[in-house]
């Protein structure tokens, strides 16, 4: 039987993970089996740069943390090797990075995921993975907002240029005569 200290440590891990799950907008559970250390290091770096927390953790601890956080529908995938990636702000970063990595590695697989504390299907995870990054989406939205304003500004400038054209022609004619 485990000591009281070990049980307290495990309970702290469960509490921390449950808090992480509740505080995140998205999460992905993967089977990380069969990847090399250098590949894992690069994957962790990519996730960290995207603001995603990635942790290899025992299935029973993930299950207890998910239950504590109110996340249902992921129990059936909690077998074998598991790691969980959570993102507090970006809905697609974890899915995009992990699905891309899984596509290039036969033994690495995305097992489950959630958005806003609701389990989602693998098809939805794959759809999320195909979305551009948050920065690209924001740039597209800003471009869409700026396009009408820029068109309006060009139209106003064309009108101003057209109205000033006779005055400029007359000024040029005067300077040419002098």
Contact 115/91 with Cβ under 8 angstroms? yes
**Sign for the pseudo-dihedral over CA of 92, 93, 96, 98:** negative
| pTM of the predicted model as reported, rounded to 2 decimal places | 0.71
pLDDT of residue 82: 92
pLDDT at residue 102, as a whole number: 92
Which pLDDT score, from 0 to 100, does residue 166 have? 60
Q: What is the pLDDT of residue 168?
A: 55
Give the pLDDT of residue 134. 66
Question: What's the pLDDT at 66?
Answer: 92
Give residue-wise pLDDT tens across range 57-85: 999 999 999 999 999 988 888 989 999 99
Homologous superfamily (CATH) of 4-131 is Ribosomal protein L10, N-terminal RNA-binding domain (3.30.70.1730)
**Residue 55's pLDDT is what?**
93
Give dist(CA 160, CA 65) in Å, integer.
65
Low-confidence spans in the chain with pLDDT less than 70: 1, 132-134, 137, 164-178
What does the pLDDT read at residue 172? 56
Do 141 and 133 form a contact (C-beta atoms < 8 A)? no
Quick: pLDDT tens for 35-46.
899 999 999 999
């Amino acid at each position: 039987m485990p000591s009281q200290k070990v049980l307290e440590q495990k309970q702290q891990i469960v509490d921390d993970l449950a808090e992480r799950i509740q505080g995140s907008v998205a999460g992905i559970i993967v089977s990380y089996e069969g990847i090399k250390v250098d590949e894992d290091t690069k994957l962790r770096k990519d996730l960290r740069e995207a603001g995603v927390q990635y942790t290899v953790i025992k299935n029973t601890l993930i299950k207890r943390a998910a239950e504590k956080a109110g996340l249902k529908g992921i129990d059936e995938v909690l077998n074998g090797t598991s790691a969980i990636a959570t993102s507090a702000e970006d809905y697609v970063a974890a899915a995009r990075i992990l699905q891309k990595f899984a596509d290039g590695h036969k033994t690495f697989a995305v097992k489950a995921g959630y958005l806003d504390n609701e389990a989602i299907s693998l098809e939805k995870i794959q759809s999320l993975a195909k979305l551009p990054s948050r920065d690209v989406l924001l740039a597209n939205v800003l471009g869409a907002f700026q396009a009408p304003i820029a068109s309006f500004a060009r139209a106003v400038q064309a009108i101003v240029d057209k109205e000033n054209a006779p005055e400029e022609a007359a000024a040029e004619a005067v300077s040419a005569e002098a």
